[in-house]
A and B are shown apart, each in its own frame.
Chain A
Amino acid sequence: MAQEAAASGPRPIVSYLKIPDGGDPYLEGQCCKPCGAIFLGERQTCARCGADQQLEPKKLSNRGELYVYSIVHRSFPGIEVPYISAIVDLEGGGTVKGNLINIDPDPDQVRMGMPVEVIYQIAPRKDAEGNEYLTYYFQPQTKG
């Protein structure tokens, strides 16, 4: 615990966002060896096939495609609107949810099926103790 308290740098917003020492952050899935289902966050048993203790970590891709979205115009107090709530299918498996940014929140601009990429930024809010968090967003894929 003492070591954790001494560690500097942001905390991950969710347990499946990994921040390796000296490496780039990435999203991690838990893949069921027998059936191939991919989950977010650690678990003991596969919810698809019931295989027990047979999940292994899998680094998820930073590229994928927009499956569906909603443009949120009303949220809870203190949450800035509008924003695009997006469901993204990652290349090679895994589906994650997050904000789609760097595109107008306009149904004429956002296209289901469009290629997107995962980017990592410091979250614009801190917890009650003032700790910083690293979050992920989606944005339209840049060339290359």
Chain B
Amino acid sequence: MSDVYVMGIDMIKFGRYPESNVPKLGADAARLALKDAGLTIQDMEALYSGNLMQASAMVGQRILQEIGQTGIPVTNSANACATGATAFREGWTAIKAGLYDLVLIIGVEQLGRAGLLGGGGGGGGISKEGLLGSGTMPAVFAEAGMEHSRKYGTTFEQFAKVSVKNHQHSVKNPKSMYQKETPLEMVMNSEMIAYPNTKLMCSVNVDGAAAAVLASEKKAKELGMGRAVKVAASVLTSDPYTERDLVMPDINTCTRSAAKQAYEMAGIGPDDIDLVELHDCFATAEILHYENLGLCADGEAGKLIDQGETAHGGRIPVNVSGGLLSKGHPLGATGVANIYEVSMHLRGEAGARQVEGAKTGLTHVIGLGSACGIHILEKVG
């Protein structure tokens, strides 16, 4: 089977675009990615589009109406916060299968100030929110974090440090929603949403879009591999049965299983990774994923953040883009945007936030419900 390469990739600055709409935002990212690849929509043989909030509204086709209705097959994906990574993987799969040599991937979302997500009722009767606990996302991820506290004594301050780090990283990312440092006291004293997650420990609801052009090895060689990035692994998992998952979504087991498969597929281990963009939808989550992705041994994630090992310049920089906490989290775009971030570092084009000498990077997203998508990317040459 052919290897798959990223030939062009880009994203719009994450932010709020009330004057625009989903197809237009997606089209903006698609034009940027095509330009980055030096190709046109006429060169694309298929489109894989990811969007969550308008999952029934043919977003991919509407984007083609903006950038060129060439009649190519369009697949629209929705997989909660793993939507973008799922669309990317659909394109990867099609090239692997030998169906196409060039495909376009787009992830797009317009969230605006969506406010609190999750906690949906359903099932008739009265709302269960605030009677049978909370289904809001900040609370669900707080509970996941508290499981780590229970096992290893992880503190509110350690969780808060994740947010300090990611906001600090975002200062050097012009495409981040925010570029503002948030000292520890500010993070810990901001409005408590769901203990231990304060407002500054919750990801930002924003509008955003990111797009990529993928090529088969044959086509990549034909086009020139100079700036190509190899997709060394693409893995998607769902959550297997675990003891408490009926009432407590398990974001750990599906991540661990995806990480194991991804490292095997790429033929490497966690020690070979130079940077990671992982799913910091809430500060509590990032701590869990240090261990889930094998960046440290179980129980050592608190120490990892305390010692600055995941900060830029540390042993294994995590979320140098600013992460979902500061760059923003436009659900369907997130999984493509984190591949953009890692690709920029592998190409040596990440500017002021460049992780020097980066050769291999990993991206990770979790869609609650659950889906985990992991990609490992490698510098070519």
Contacts and interface: CB of A to CB of B under 8 A. Distances in A.
Interface of A: 11, 13-14, 37, 39-40, 47-48, 67-76, 79-81, 83, 85-87, 89, 95-99, 107, 112-113, 123-127, 133, 135-137
Given A67-B150, A70-B139, A74-B193, A85 B134 contact: yes
Nearest to B248: A87
Interface string B193-225: 111110000000000000000000000000000
Interface string B113-149: 0001001000101111111111010111011001101
Given A69-B146, A95-B246, A95-B247, A75 B136 contact: yes
Main SS class of interface, B: loop
B132 A72 contact: no
Nearest to B144: A68
B131 A39 contact: no
B139 A135 contact: no
Interface in B238-270: 241, 243-244, 246-248
B191 interface: yes
B194 A127 contact: no
26 contacts: A11-B125, A68-B149, A68-B150, A70-B140, A70-B143, A71-B192, A71-B195, A72-B130, A72-B194, A73-B193, A73-B194, A74-B116, A74-B138, A76-B119, A79-B130, A87-B247, A87-B248, A96-B247, A97-B247, A98-B131, A99-B131, A107-B156, A107-B196, A113-B150, A127-B125, A133-B126
Contacts, number: 131
B248 A68 contact: yes
Contacts of B142: 70
Contacts of A74: 116, 136, 138, 191-194
Contact of A72 (B123, B125, B127, B139): B139
Contact of B147 (A47, A68, A71, A73): A68
Interface of B: 116, 119, 123, 125-134, 136, 138-140, 142-143, 146-147, 149-150, 156, 191-197, 241, 243-244, 246-248
A39 B246 contact: yes
Contacts of A72: 130, 134, 136, 138-139, 193-195
Contacts of B128: 13-14
9 nearest A-B pairs in the assembled complex, by CB-CB distance:
A85-B133, A70-B142, A71-B195, A97-B247, A85-B134, A79-B130, A68-B146, A48-B241, A97-B133
A107 to B, nearest CB: 6
B194 A85 contact: yes
B129 A76 contact: yes
Nearest to B198: A73
Contacts of B127: 76, 79, 125
Given A37-B241, A86-B133, A107-B156, 4 more contacts: A70-B197, A76-B119, A125-B127, A136-B132
Nearest to B129: A79
B126 A112 contact: no
Nearest to A137: B131
A81 B143 CA distance: 17
A47 B243 CA distance: 11
Contacts of A96: 247
Contacts of B116: 74-76
Contact of A13 (B132, B136, B139, B140): B132
B201 to A, nearest CB: 12
Given A74-B116, A123-B126, A95 B244 contact: yes
Contacts of B146: 68-70, 112
Contact of B131 (A40, A123, A127): A123
Task: Give the residue among B130, B136, B147 with the most A Cβ atoms within 10 A.
Answer: B130
B248 A97 contact: yes
A40 B126 contact: no
Task: Give the residue among A48, A69, A72 with the most B Cβ atoms within 10 A.
Answer: A72
Contacts of B131: 13, 98-99, 123-125, 135, 137
A123 B247 CA distance: 20
A11 B126 CA distance: 10
B150 A73 contact: no
B354 to A, nearest CB: 38
A80 B248 contact: no
Nearest to A127: B126
A113 B146 CA distance: 12
A118 B196 CA distance: 25
Contact of A126 (B126, B130, B194, B196): B126
Contacts of A125: 126-127, 131
A123 to B, nearest CB: 6
B125 A99 contact: no
A54 B119 CA distance: 31
B45 to A, nearest CB: 39
A29 B4 CA distance: 48
